[in-house]
Chains A and B, each alone.
Chain A
Amino acid sequence: MQWKEQDMHQYIEAQEYVDTLVIPLIPIQLEKPNEIVKHAAMSELTEYGAKAIENQFKGRIFLSPSFQYFKSSSTKLDTISLQQWIAYYDHLPFKHVFLFTFDHAWKKVERELNASLLWLPAISGKVEDAKTSEILKEQLNQMMDLIQSYWQE
């Protein structure tokens, strides 16, 4: 389910079946030209990938609006704000909480967060390119297998 009016009608009816939350992490970086492009591409991939996962598992996954954060070379990642987001969702009966990102920086602070980090290595190129989309599809398939393995526990 996505955070959309239409989906929420369904969500309200079927809440007990939707036990998995996915929060996409979207970086914003406006300092160095090549970093700007890289991070914008990363954001696009994240949004695209998150939607693809939601599409496969629509009936069980709640796709949260994206958590957006500024990324500069000088400041630390804002784990506190993100942790607050996660805590907010604690009121709801989600059994699994996943963070979805292409930014490896989160990998280093994973332990401070009360959720499972789904990290994919960033690939260069646009989603529209055949080759990039092939790689991305493969990555996403593995990610979806991983999510399913959490469900089987």
Chain B
Amino acid sequence: MSEKKQQVSRRQFLNYTLTGVGGFMAAGMLAPMVRFAIDPVLQPSAQGEFAAVAQVDDITTEPTRVEWTIDQVDGWYESKVTKTAWVYKQEDGSILALSPVCKHLGCVVNWEGNEQFPNEFYCPCHGGRYYKDGVNVPNTPPAAALDVFQHKIEEGTLYLGKAEPRKEA
């Protein structure tokens, strides 16, 4: 009796396993095709998703902080992540959106974060400093300029994409 029971359960077990593995394999084979079939616009692409963050008219020459949320996939872990940028209009009227992440060890920098250094970004962790255009002040810990967000303007709205290392002018 007990043996029979065991056999059944073993068979069941095998069944589950096989369907499991089979299903898994099928999913693996299907997945790439499904991905191609989906409208590319709906595809969260690694490099190019833009988020609306501000009205261009509201942006002044004073760096202001904008915030938005994205769905971030970290390996298998998906979460909502709040992103921030320092945004302002440059002399020539074009917009510059700087990443607030310090290029030393990754703390968040603040515009005029230290009274002693007006007109600069300041990192509270080890006193890193950056000029208004994001270039690091020599002889402070950061060794590179703040990253710059890709941006585009559509119908008066500012959209930001990925932050990229600054290209030297």
Report which A residues bind B (CB closer than 8 A).
10, 14, 17-18, 55-60, 148, 151
Q: Report which of A10, A17, A148 forms a contact with B126, defined as CB distance below 8 A.
A: A17
Within the complex, what minimum Cβ distance (angstroms) separates B143 from chain A? Answer: 12
Question: Nearest residue in A to B124 (C-beta to C-beta)?
Answer: A148
A46 to B105, CA, bound (A): 24
A151 cross-chain contacts in B, Cβ below 8 A:
124
B107 close to A (CB within 8 Å): yes
**B125 close to chain A: CB less than 8 A:** yes
Which chain B residues in 101-131 approach chain A with CB under 8 Å? Answer: 102, 104-108, 123-126
Residue of A nearest to B103 (CB): A59
- Bound: A17/B106 CA distance, A: 12
Chain B residue at minimum C-beta to C-beta distance from A145: B124
Given contacts A57-B108, A58-B106, 17 further A-B contacts (CB under 8 A): A14-B105, A17-B125, A17-B141, A55-B108, A56-B108, A57-B124, A57-B125, A58-B105, A58-B108, A59-B104, A59-B106, A59-B107, A59-B123, A59-B126, A60-B125, A60-B126, A148-B124
For A4, the closest partner residue in chain B by CB is B74
Q: Which residues of B are at the interface with A, using a C-beta cutoff of 8 A?
A: 102, 104-108, 123-126, 141
Chain A residues with CB below 8 A from B105, complex form:
10, 14, 17-18, 58-60
> Shortest distance in angstroms between A152's beta carbon and chain B's nearest beta carbon?
10
Residues in A whose Cβ lies below 8 Å from that of B108: 55-58
Q: Which residues of A contact B124 (CB under 8 A)?
A: 57, 148, 151
What is the bound-complex CA distance between A10 and B105, given in angstroms? 8
Residues in chain A near residue B106, CB distance under 8 A: 10, 58-59
Of residues B123, B124, B126, which shows the largest number of chain A Cβ atoms within 10 Å of its Cβ?
B124
Q: How far is the CB of A86 from chain B (nearest CB, A)?
A: 23
Write the nearest CB–CB distance from B114 to chain A, whole angstroms: 11
| A-B CB proximity, top 9 nearest | A59-B105, A58-B106, A60-B125, A59-B107, A59-B125, A56-B108, A59-B106, A57-B107, A58-B107
